[in-house]
Every structure is written in structure tokens, then in C-alpha cells.
Structure 1
Amino acid sequence: MKETTPVYKDFWFRIIGCLLISEIIDSIGREESLLQRLGSKYFYYDLLGGFVIALLLWEVTRFAIIKLDRRFDWLEKPVQRITLQLLLAVLLPALLSFVFTMIFMKLAYRQNIFETGWLNSEFYTVILFILFVNVIYFTWWLLLKWTKQGTADRSVKTQTREYPVIEVAKAGKKLLLPQEDIACAFLSNGYCYVKLFSGESFMTSYTLEELARMLDESVFFRANRQTLLNRKSCQSYKSIENGKIELDIHPPLKNAVIVSQKRASEFRKWVVSPLSST
């Protein structure tokens, strides 16, 4: 089954982050303090222009990362993911930052970007900003991955266990019986039989040991070597000689069902223990 693409709830994180990076880049190489620059209209031009550029770069980077998340898992396809991440989420945004800044300088200040110090100073800060955004989303991806895996593991542990149907034979046909219909299983003349609450009995190719492993242990109990019974079939029980327990079950079997002294304590715990979810 295809995994769900991680959802990054980061709207305000992007807005605030772009404002901060715009201010950081604008302050590079300036001697004036932030308070001094607040009184100049050019501060707001630069802040707005830098914010728009940063937001565009962030959106391009984020878009590329989300697309890659859908097709190239970091853990399953690391080489392809790293290569495409560098091309689409680092180099492409870096190139676009140059183009956007060149356009902004030309339109806002009639400046030629090659005649400024932008390529020798601010450009490196922009690259660090792009790398930082990549690291953020990679870390976020890991967190979501681990959180999802932990939730899935807990779900597997708590989900209802599915028990197999039991195959029995009748008149040359194979019947499939759900465990809730089975009152008990018993041995007779070397053969294993399954008895339903309706009173019908069917021969099965399973051994009692196999049935005990297949059926819900909170519902079925191995009373002795000859009998495996459903808790619902046990109507009552009483202690008899030598610490043994005699069971009254329905539908009844031909022979009395006796729990040995060795298993008597285990039976008493089982008969009052909670049933597993079904």
C-alpha cells in the first residue's frame, strides 16, 4: 500500500521565517542599527522585496520537497532522493534567488546586480537559508515518519487478532467453522473431532495441539489430553478427589471432562480471566 505523503502544517512558520530571513539579509553590510533603519522608507522597500523573494524561494523549495516525498522515500531510495533534492530543492532555488534579486534591483533601484556586492555576500546567506529550509523539512519528515510508525506499531499491537476458521470433514466435503461456533474439540478412537454448540460433531485433520495454537487461548482451554473446550460450553465445575476438577459442559461429551490436579490452578485463573476483543 502506498504511504501517505507527509503533511507539513507550516503556514505561519513560512511567513515568520521569510520575514526574519529578509531582515537578516538586508542587514548584511549595513552600519545602521535596526532602530535607525526603521525611520527610512527604503527599509520597508527592502524588507518587502526580500520577504516576497524569500517566500517565493521557500514555496519552490517546499513544492519540490513535497513532490519528492511522494515518489522518492529518503530511506528506500536515498541516492535518487539526495540527487534530486540537491537539484530541485537547492540548486534551482539558488538560481531563482539570483534571477528574482536581479529583477528586484533593476525595478526598485535601477541597479545592476553585477555592480553590487550581492553575489559576494548576500548570495551565500541565501544559499544557507535554502539549505536550512531543506534541513527543516528533512527533520520534519523524519519526525512524521517515526510518529506514524509508532502509531502503526501500537495499532498492530492493539488491533483485534483474526483467528482462522477450522476445516472439518463431513460426507466427503470440507466445511469451514468459525471459532465462535465451536463448543469443544476432543479425541475419540485416535481421531480428533470438533463439536459445535448445536451438538453436531465433525472430524478434523488437525491435532488437539494444533487447534490449541490456532484458537484464542482466552476462549479455549486444554482441559486434559483428550479435550479442548470453549469457555461458553462450561456450565459449572466442582472440585473432586486429589485436587482435580470435574466440568459440566454443554453440549455434553460421552465421557466426563476432568481437569487434572496439575492444570486445576491454571483452569481457575482462565475461567475468570477477561476475554480478548473479537
Structure 2
Amino acid sequence: METISYHNRSFRILAAFGATMFILFYGRTFDLHHALSKPLFWYAFIVSFCVALLIVKIIHEMTVYLDGRFDWRKNFWQRITYQVFLGIFIPALIDVIVFTAYFLVLRKNIVHTGFLSSDLLRVVFLLALLNAYYYIHYRLLTRKHVHEQTSNHSNSDILNIDHNGLHLHLHVKTDVLLIYRDVRVTKVRTVNGNEYTTNHSLAQLNRQYKKQGICQINQSFLVNLYMLKGYINVEKRDSYSPIIKPAYRAAFPESLSHEFVVTRKYSDDFRERLADI
């Protein structure tokens, strides 16, 4: 999976500075001239700014790391889980640890400073905003790439699959037996009996791989016509049961046999296209 280059070092420095000023002055009278004359302000500013830079750097590195492993579009729930843990929880924990040490140096108990009840909540809010920025930035940076990839593969024989860490390139005409919708998940069944999930819809796959023999037979099934020997009539009028070639029957799950039917709506297109194979 491609690693994204954000080129946002200046933004990260400004974000750290802005977050520092927000935390230091939120809920207090904004008197910068008075604050600059106080040594305690400078101690707090230097520590807060350094911690902010560290946290922003951690979030940046973790985001780049996750970009290379969990695509936001293809693995959204996995990605958001890791992003919240590595991009919000861990940085917030680091912030608490550093400021606990800071207040100990000042001979103060962090519990009695109000940090945990007020400042920490604002820190978490700012962390969430920064992670949201990276999500939006990712979508914008990859939008053109996704569009080009879709265009380049519109007439391709290759179906790219990202499944549980596996990155596969299936030749539709020779590798794919059928594609079906299982509740809300689209599944691809290969001629070897393996099954993978994809984020593509049946309608999209039907359009994209029509020239490679993919044909819709009902609302839930696409079949590779090159894997069929023919079809037989069933009791219901204008409905048919596809006959899979003997070499591929072992890969067909019997649990799907009662749904593997060409319904009336798709029967004419199915018969015409099968006759041309």
C-alpha cells in the first residue's frame, strides 16, 4: 500500500504553537504583555510547546505508518480503531506523564492543579482535530489517485483484493468463480475455493468486468460465464439454474446452491451472453 507524503512540517510547528497558546490562555484573561514578563509563563510555555511538538510528531509518524497498512477507504473500521489508539490515546497518555513530572518538579500534585479535569479534555479535543485534519488531508491527496486507478482498471482483467493483510491480484476470467452479497459484505469466490471480501459493490463489479465474463444472475449474485457449462430450467417460470463446469464444482459452496438461480429480470441477458462465450 502506498505511503502518503504530507509535506506539512510548517503546519505541524504552527499547530503545536497554536495548541500551546490555546491551552495556556483558555479561560484566562489574554494579557500577552503581562504573561511575557512572568518567568513562570515561560517555563510553562517552553514545556508545553516542546510536548506539543513531540505529540504532533508522534501523530504524524503514526499516521504515515498506518497509511502504509490500513487504507481509510478499504479498511475504515480497522483504521479508525488504530488511529484513535495511536493518534489520541497514546499522545494523551504521554501528555499526562510529562506534565505529572513537570508538576512534581514544581512540588505540585497534578490532581490538585485542575490539569486532569480541564486541560486534559482540551488536549484530547485538539488531538481529535489534528487526527481529523490528517483524515481529510489523506482523502484529498488520494482522491486523484483513486480516480486514475479506477479509470486504468475499468477494462482490466485484474481484480485487486485487500483481505486481512493479503494483497491479491486475481485474473477475473480465470481465477474468479462467482461474486455474491452476504448481508452487507461483498465476497469473491475463486476457482480454488478461496473466499475474499471486497469493498466494491456488485453493480460496480458487474460493469467493470463485463468483458471478462462477469454476469449478474440475480440481486445477490454475479457469476463468471467462463466457468459455466450451461443451464437448466427450474420450476419457476423464466428462471434457470446455472451448471458449473465439472472442474470447478468442488469450489462451489453447497450452502449457496438454493440462491444460485438466474431470475427472470436477468435471464435474457444471461442466456444471450452465455451463448456468445
3-state SS of paired residue (1:110): coil
Aligned to 2:140: 143
Offset at residue 17 of structure 1 (A): 1.1
Aligned to 2:56: 58
**Number of residue pairs matched?**
154
3-state SS of paired residue (2:29): coil
Aligned to 2:102: 104
Following the alignment from structure 2 to structure 1, what is the Cα–Cα distance between the partners of residues 153 and 75?
26
Aligned to 1:30: 28
Following the alignment from structure 1 to structure 2, what is the Cα–Cα distance between the partners of residues 32 and 58?
25
Give the 4+ runs in structure 1 shifted more than 4 A. 150-157
Root-mean-square deviation (CA), in Å?
2.1
Aligned to 1:47: 45
Aligned to 2:131: 134
3-state SS of paired residue (1:121): helix
Structure 1: any 5+ residue segments left out of the alignment? Answer: 158-278
Offset at residue 134 of structure 1 (A): 0.2
Aligned to 2:210: none
The letter for the 2-side match of 1:122 is D
Following the alignment from structure 1 to structure 2, what is the Cα–Cα distance between the partners of residues 12 and 55?
11
Offset at residue 30 of structure 1 (A): 2.8
> Whose radius of gyration is greater, 1 or 2?
1
The alignment's TM-score, normalised by the length of structure 2, stands at 0.52
- Write the deviation string for residues 209-234 of structure 1: whole angstroms up to 9, x where unpaired: xxxxxxxxxxxxxxxxxxxxxxxxxx
Offset at residue 110 of structure 1 (A): 2.3
Offset at residue 82 of structure 1 (A): 1.3
Aligned to 2:2: 4
The letter for the 2-side match of 1:141 is Y
3-state SS of paired residue (1:111): coil
Instruction: Name which of 16, 19, 29 aligns with 2:17.
Output: 19
**Contact 2:59/2:87 (8 A) holds in 1:** yes
Offset at residue 69 of structure 1 (A): 0.6
Distance 1:73 1:154, change over 3 A: closer
Following the alignment from structure 1 to structure 2, what is the Cα–Cα distance between the partners of residues 124 and 142?
27
Aligned to 2:183: none
- Write the deviation string for residues 65-113 of structure 1: whole angstroms up to 9, x where unpaired: 1111101111111121111111111111111111111112223x22211
**Contact 2:2/2:67 (8 A) holds in 1:** no
3-state SS of paired residue (2:28): coil
Distance 1:106 1:29, change over 3 A: farther
Q: Counterparts of 1:117-128 in structure 2 under 5 Å?
A: 117-128=114-125
3-state SS of paired residue (1:26): helix
- Write the deviation string for residues 102-127 of structure 1: whole angstroms up to 9, x where unpaired: 112223x2221111111111111100
Following the alignment from structure 1 to structure 2, what is the Cα–Cα distance between the partners of residues 84 and 152?
26
Q: Counterparts of 1:49-198 in structure 2 under 5 Å?
A: 49-107=47-105, 109-150=106-147
Offset at residue 53 of structure 1 (A): 0.9
- Write the deviation string for residues 236-261 of structure 1: whole angstroms up to 9, x where unpaired: xxxxxxxxxxxxxxxxxxxxxxxxxx
